[in-house]
Amino acid sequence: MTFFRLLKLTEQGIQALRNQQETMSEIAQIITDNGGKLVGAWFTQGDYDMISIIQADDDKAMRTISARLAVKGLYTGKTLPAMPLNDFMKRFGDGPEVAMFLETWFRAGRKDKRR
């Protein structure tokens, strides 16, 4: 499975930027040691400081990875399971019923109902 992580650096995380290679190597090793793979990480501007993509076998493996990384205190954030659009369409189809479901699902998840 693929997981997108939206991260805000803590003060400790900002200070860890002084040793970026060491910090990223340590994070990648924690992910690998717990059955995952760091696909990539990007610095961003806006509500989150970083976005990372991690592949793991399942939600349980990702929860373990998240817990092991959280104790480092480098960031807070959200983890979102993701599925490529083509895989979604193969699994669930692309008919009008699926479109109606997705429309309802996306609208229900919005805080700002005007979107």
* All residues at 6 or more sequence positions from 21 whose CB lies less than 8 Å from its CB, including other chains: none
Burial of 54 (0-12, 13-18, 19+ CB in 10 A): buried
In 22-108, the DSSP E strands lie at 37-43, 50-55, 75-82
* Per-residue model confidence (pLDDT) at position 112: 62
* Per-residue model confidence (pLDDT) at position 99: 81
SS3 48: coil
CATH classification number, 2-82, choose in 3.40.50.720, 1.10.340.30, 2.60.40.10, 3.30.70.920 = 3.30.70.920
Q: Per the confidence metrics, is the pTM higher than 0.85?
A: no
Residues of the chain with pLDDT under 70: 111-115
Domain ranges of the chain: 2-82, 84-115
